[in-house]
Amino acid sequence: MAPGRFSGGGYRGHVSSESTSTMHPAAHLAGEGTHGLIQGLGDDPKRLKVAVYKYAEDPNSDRTPRDLVLLHHIDRFGVQAVMGRNYLGAGEIRRMIYCENLVRFHRSKTKAESWAEWAAKFPGPDAILNEAMILAERHGN
């Protein structure tokens, strides 16, 4: 098969493995290839946690974690339009839920009158926030 052509057998939502380009047709919309603007790239959970925590600390930052960008685009346009397929993998779902929850937990704790009371009332979310905060302090740039 010639490089860059779609594989046969009906639409399969991807470019042939023989293609010279490895970028998915929806990659630009999904945010891939813009490493300077979108943080938390790759599959490293520490990098993702640091990026999401930093975003939660400063949501006006131009460094939005990739999984939050994807979640926003999927909410707005649908999985098929964004990902080029009609499903999300378990890992993708877990990362998006983690990102969304961490931001939500951070906002909830920030709005609380007493952080100590909030932590006592919500020990699970507090542990997640503390882990991300420690990672951001140790590994954040």
Segment 107-124 mean pLDDT? 95
pTM score above 0.75: no
**Could you tell me the pLDDT band of residue 22, with boundaries at 50, 70 and 90?**
very low
Residue 140, pLDDT above cutoff 90: no
3-state class (DSSP) for residue 39: strand
Closest CA to 85 of 10, 3, 20, 11: 11
Tokens for 133, please give them. Answer: 């905060």
Tens of pLDDT, residue by residue over 46-69, are 889 999 999 999 988 888 898 999
Residue 35 vs residue 75, higher pLDDT: 75
pLDDT mean across residues, the chain: 76
Centroid of chain to Cα 100: 9
Helix extents (H) in the chain: 27-30, 45-57, 66-77, 79-83, 90-111, 115-121, 123-139
Residue 13, pLDDT above cutoff 50: no
Residue 39, pLDDT above cutoff 60: no
